[in-house]
């Protein structure tokens, strides 16, 4: 409301909480505001991949990288909560115990809140950086087929949750629209040379090199 927004949709309903079974009253509000789209002077390139590697971003002006960084969730805590939830689920499968079931639900709820909070904070940081540098956001999103192969492949069950960045992607896009930041999704390939367009060779130290002489970290 303080940013000049107006309510365009409101809904209210009564439902039973999945955590403790209590009846609760819920309200959902949708806001919208008119905002002029920013004229970008730079690019903020964001790489969305497996989240345990972090979200890599770089602010680029012409051929110069002005700022780069990596935003990572608390991977150790996420894995700890997943293991605890799996342990409690196994106990629930062995015997019917309401207390154990409630504990398992509480752990899954903490895991969900942890991921949601990190996604919200990360999206805000990305869009705030774009506004600061007057940069359009270009997001590199892996192909759905690539994600499917990873999930069906050798990824451990605990790390597969790190491939679910759909909500983060939607949050970045929504906040970019809210603040008038141009947003585009474009598949970038680390083996394609940005100078000549040729195919680069990947070396053992995760660096890539092109025949034209260009070399960088993958």
What's the pLDDT at 146?
67
Structural domain boundaries enclosing 213: 189-218
* Predicted local distance difference test score (pLDDT) of residue 192: 80
Return the closest-CA partner of residue 158 out of 84, 216, 95, 91: 84
Q: What tokens does 114 get?
A: 């942890």
118 and 211 in a single domain? The answer is: no
> How many degrees, rounded to 5, is the angle at CA 11 between CA 10 and CA 13?
160
Q: Do 25 and 59 fall within a single domain?
A: no
Instruction: Select from 86, 79, 101 the least CA-distant residue to 19.
Output: 101
State the helix-helix crossing angle for 98-133 and 75-94, rounded to 10 degrees.
Answer: 160
Transcribe 92-158 into DSSP letters: HHHS--HHHHHHHHHHHHHHHHHHHHHHHHHHHHHHHHHHHHTEEEEEE---HHHHHHHHHTT--TT
Same domain, 77 and 114: yes
How would you write the pLDDT of the chain (218 residues) with one tens digit per residue? 778 888 899 999 998 776 667 888 999 998 888 888 899 999 999 988 778 888 999 999 987 889 999 999 999 999 999 999 989 988 888 877 788 888 988 999 999 999 999 999 999 999 999 999 999 999 987 766 666 776 677 667 677 787 788 889 999 999 999 999 999 998 776 678 878 888 888 887 778 888 898 888 76
What CATH number does the domain containing 110 carry? 3.30.420
What pLDDT is stored for residue 18 in this prediction? 64
- What are the φ/ψ torsions at residue 179 (nearest 5 degrees)? -100, 10
CB 57 within 8 A of CB 45: yes
pLDDT in the model for residue 3: 80
CA separation for the pair 30, 211 (Å, rounded): 52
Same domain, 109 and 11: no
- Same-domain pairing of 58 and 84: yes
Number of structural domains (the chain) is: 3
What is the pLDDT, as a whole number, of residue 38?
Answer: 92
Strands 183-185, 215-217: pairing is: unpaired
Q: Which residues contact 167 (CB under 8 A, 6 or more apart)?
A: 116, 119
Q: Are residues 202 and 164 in the same domain?
A: no
* Same-domain pairing of 89 and 118: yes
Looking at the structure, do residues 79 and 115 belong to the same domain, yes or no?
A: yes
Strand partners, 217: 207
Strands 207-209 and 135-140: unpaired
């Amino acid at each position: 409301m303080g940013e000049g927004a107006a309510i365009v949709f409101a809904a209210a309903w009564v439902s039973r909480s999945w955590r403790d079974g209590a009846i609760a009253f819920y309200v959902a509000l949708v806001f919208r505001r008119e905002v002029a789209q920013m004229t970008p002077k730079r690019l903020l390139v964001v790489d969305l991949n497996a989240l345990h590697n972090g979200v890599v971003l770089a602010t680029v002006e012409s051929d110069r990288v002005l700022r780069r960084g990596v935003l990572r969730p608390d991977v150790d805590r996420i894995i700890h909560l997943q293991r605890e939830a799996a342990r409690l689920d196994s106990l629930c499968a062995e015997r019917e115990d309401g207390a154990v079931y409630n504990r398992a639900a509480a752990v899954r709820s903490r895991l969900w809140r942890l991921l949601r909070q990190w996604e919200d904070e990360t999206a805000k940081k990305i869009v705030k950086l774009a506004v600061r540098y007057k940069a359009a956001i270009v997001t590199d999103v892996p192909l759905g087929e690539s994600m499917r192969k990873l999930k069906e492949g050798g990824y451990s069950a605990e790390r597969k949750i790190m491939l679910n960045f759909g909500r983060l992607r939607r949050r970045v896009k929504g906040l970019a629209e809210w603040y008038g930041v141009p947003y585009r999704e474009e598949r970038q390939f680390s083996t394609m040379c940005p100078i000549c367009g040729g195919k680069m060779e990947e070396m053992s130290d995760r660096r890539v090199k092109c025949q034209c002489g260009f070399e960088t970290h993958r």
